[in-house]
A and B are shown apart, each in its own frame.
Chain A
Amino acid sequence: MKILSKILGPFTPLVGVAILLLVWQIAFWVEVVDHVLLPSPASMFISVWQGMTGGQLLFDFFRTIERTALSILYAGIIGIPLGIIFGSSIGLYRSVEFVVDFFRSTPASAVFPLFLAISGPGDATKIQVATFGAALVILFNVAYGVMNARKTRLQAAKVMGAPRFRVLTDVMLFESLPQTFVGLRNGVSLALIIVIVAEMFIGSVDGLGHNVLDNQMLFEMPRMYAAIFVAGALGYSFNLLFLLIERRYVHWSGR
Chain B
Amino acid sequence: MNASETEQMVEDETAPSSRAGAPSPLSAAGASGDAHITIRGLSKTFGDAVIYDNFDLDIPRGRFVSVFGPNGCGKSTLINLISGLIEPDAGTIRFDGKRLRDTNFGYVFQNYREALFPWMRSIDNIRYPLKFRNIPRAEQKERVERLVERLGVTIDLNKYPYQMSGGQQQLVSIMRSLVIEPEVLFLDEPFSALDYEMTLFMRDQLQALFMDTKTTMVFVSHDLEEAVYLADDVMLLSRGPAEVADYVNVGIPRPRSAATISEDEFVRVKAHCLEIFQKLVRGT
A contact residues vs B (CB 8 Å cutoff): 150-153, 155-156, 158-163, 166, 170-171, 174, 177, 250-252, 255
Contacts and interface: CB of A to CB of B under 8 A. Distances in A.
A153 B115 contact: yes
A250 to B, nearest CB: 8
Interface of B: 83-85, 105-107, 109, 111, 114-119, 128-129, 131-133, 160, 162, 176, 180
B85 A160 contact: no
Nearest to B176: A160
A236 B85 CA distance: 46
27 contacts: A151-B114, A152-B109, A152-B115, A153-B115, A153-B117, A155-B109, A156-B109, A156-B117, A158-B85, A159-B85, A159-B105, A159-B106, A160-B129, A160-B180, A162-B131, A162-B132, A166-B131, A166-B132, A170-B117, A174-B117, A174-B119, A177-B119, A251-B160, A252-B118, A252-B119, A255-B118, A255-B162
Contacts of A166: 131-132
Contacts of B118: 252, 255
A153 B132 contact: no
A164 B85 CA distance: 13
Nearest to A155: B85
B105 to A, nearest CB: 8
> Shortest 6 CB-CB distances between A and B: which pairs?
A252-B118, A160-B129, A161-B132, A152-B114, A255-B162, A159-B107
Contacts of B85: 155, 158-159
Contacts of B128: 160, 170
Contacts of A152: 109, 111, 114-115
A171 B115 CA distance: 11
Nearest to B162: A255
Contacts of A153: 114-115, 117
Given A158-B85, A163-B132, A252 B115 contact: no
Given A252-B160, A255-B118, A159 B84 contact: yes
A31 B136 CA distance: 78
Nearest to B186: A159
